[in-house]
Structure 1
Amino acid sequence: MTHTVAGVDIGGTTTQVALCEEDLTVVDRLEVPTPAAAGGTAMVGAALDAVRLLLDRTGATLLGVGVGAAGVVDARAGRVLVASDSFRGWAGFAVTAAVEEALGVPAFLDNDVNAFLRGETAVGAVAGEPQVLGMTLGTGVGGALWLDGALYDGPHGAAGEIGHVPGFGDLPCTCGGRGHLETLASGRAIEARYGQRTGRSLSARGVAEAAAGADDPEALAVYEGAGAAVARALLMTAGLLDVTTFVVGGGVSRSWSLLEPAIQRTLTAEPPVSGHPVRVLPALLGQDSVAIGAAARARAELGTGVRH
């Protein structure tokens, strides 16, 4: 019988669940809707139902569960601290206690961006790298730090949050600040900047499709601005921490062919003072990255690893 850990990615729209072996190979996976408006109990319940279904159809034994959750979390206490208004009854919810009570195995909680970086450093684009900044370009912009081969979340759990560093103009940010990276490089920002330029309403994917057609200079300009802003954020990180390896994921990063030229031009024009070459890689694990990273956290916390 295969011994596994489960990785759970609770997002605002869908929840991804993956059963993983010792080497984090995915045995089976499932995507279910997230009942974000129904509260924490319902959200975790949907994830638990998915875990049970995967266990039933694989016959695997479960040793532990890792959860990656949107919002600010207390990873040590296993509790969500702050959540966006997309979720009801999520802030304050004790995630790991609910999972442990239901499944009878240890459970561990991470912020979803931290889990993303755990996945990419374990078996993804930056596997084995000791120093990495991970960045997710989605509805917002998230960041996480991997230093000396381990996640570094800082004394207040907010280390690596490059999406909310100022210095990127003066546009208002969703967090209440101004001029943050998120105001230029998030999916929401791409939609807004394009709308301001053209008066047209398109999703970030729609803007990407318009830019890829090479007949919409305004769409190209919006992605050019996003890529240049990302590169400046990477250069800030390189200057402050001497970290020069970066992995970029999230929905906006699927338009890598539009972002990368601007990123590389900016990095070439303003190399870090160390002179060390900067490596920027697109995420490898796709929509599995958070779930696999959450499973990697559970595997590490269990200590002896998962057995076959």
Structure 2
Amino acid sequence: MVAGVDIGGTTTQVALCRDDLSVVDRLEVPTPAAAGGAAMVGAALDAVRLLLDRTDARLLGVGVGAAGLVDARAGRILVASDSFRGWAGFAVTATVERALGVPAFLDNDVNAFLRGEAAAGAVAGDPYVLGMTLGTGVGGALWLEGALYDGPHGAAGEIGHVPGFGDLPCTCGGRGHLETLASGRAIAARYGERTGRDLSARDVAGAAGAGDPDALAVYEEAGAGVARAMLVTAGLLDVTTFVIGGGVSRSWALVEQPIRRTLAAEPPVSGHELRVLPAGLGGDAVAVGAAARARAELDPHGSSPASGRVNDENRPSATA
């Protein structure tokens, strides 16, 4: 068995997976983000141990998907948002290996999300995919020729930080990025600008579902922006399959409708229809992707669809 761990800003998801990445058991626990890296990894380790006790399984390795800029080779967090205390610089894999006595591997959470969906989710078996996570921010990752592709500088697939989507300042310091339209933070802020009401993105989704015209307009802008980002990707890379995850995507009907309207009005230059799919693994995607990374590293010549990697550097996360 391999374990996959998804350490997010609010909760930590742990999944125990068979060789085929099917989930044997799973557990969700609060992330003690304010208590520091040792406490955060400690909570994940406790969850792994509980799952092992419940299933009487033999653990072969652990994969961790973590928010932040990570050094995958060193197994360390490089940069983290201010949601986390004592996370930047923390040696994740060394801590896990000492505690459990098995190899451990670290991935950025957006990379892990796409690994999971490409290995056992909505786009399993598809060799060319752009994965997007619409969460607190907007993250992206590329799957090319059946492998994660990060590019020579680790920034390939960062569709959330491509300009051309207005002029609002982005959290990264740039302006007019997709994140200023389609992230949960942006949806809440844009609704507040329209109405003067301070709602969360989830509450804005509820208002849109009830027919609130301002909430619907905010989601229309978000979905149209996501569709334009897809068209850019299709034009540059001829990638025509897209998988969408993250908290905003849980309101899939609100996001999907403006995406499809925009794509119908502006078809890709290739003439090939774009496939746009919601994440198939739901809340398991990052944990299963992290397990897929561990499975591939432990058996690099195996048949796992996630075993291929191209220039596996990692990038800043856009999700909490």
Aligned residue number for residue 144 of structure 2: 147
**TM-score calculated relative to the size of structure 2:** 0.92
User: What does 1:248-267 align with in structure 2 at a 5 Å threshold?
Assistant: 248-267=244-263
Of the candidates 275, 285, 292, which is equivalent to residue 281 of structure 2?
285
* 1:305 Cα offset (Å): 5.8
Q: Secondary structure at the residue paired with 2:89?
A: coil
Rounded Cα–Cα distance in structure 2 between residues aligned with 1:130 and 1:172: 35
Is the aligned partner of 1:237 residue 2:229? Answer: no
Once residues 12 and 305 of structure 1 are traced to their aligned partners in structure 2, the CA distance between those partners, rounded to angstroms, is 33
Look up the equivalent residue of 2:123 and give its one-letter code: V
Structure-1 separation of matches of 2:205 and 2:4: 31
RMSD: 1.2
Structure 1, residues 88-121: CA drift from partner, whole Å, max 9, x if none?
1111212111111111111111100100001111
Distance, in Å, in 1 between the alignment partners of 2:154 and 2:162 is 15
- Equivalent position amino acid for 1:23 in 2: D
Counterpart CA distance in 2 for 1:86 and 1:79 is: 17
| 1:90 counterpart SS class | coil
CA distance in 1, matches of 2:65, 2:231: 28
State the SS of the aligned residue for 2:5: strand
SS in 2 for 1:53: helix
- Structure 2: which amino acid aligns with 1:300? A
Alignment partners' CA distance in 1, 2:38 and 2:87: 9
Distance between the aligned counterparts of 1:305 and 1:21, measured in 2? 14
Taking structure 1 as the reference length, the TM-score comes to: 0.96
Q: Does 1:117 align with 2:119?
A: no
1:42 corresponds to which residue?
A: 39
- 1:173 matched to 2:167? The reply is no
Contact 1:18 1:30 in 2 (8 A): yes
Task: Say which SS state the counterpart of residue 52 (structure 2) adopts.
Answer: helix
Alpha-carbon distance in 1 for matches of 2:130, 2:68? 19
Taking the aligned partners of 2:25 and 2:108, their CA distance within structure 1 comes to 23
Distance 2:58 2:150 in 1: 31
Where has structure 1 moved over 6 Å in runs of 4 or more? none
Determine which of 58, 62, 70 is the counterpart of 2:59: 62
The higher-RCO structure (CA 8 Å, 6+ apart) is 2
Q: Percent same amino acid among aligned pairs?
A: 85
- Structure-1 separation of matches of 2:50 and 2:97: 17
The residue correspondences of 1:131-142 to structure 2 (distance < 5 A) are 131-142=128-139
* 1:78 pairs with 2:87: no
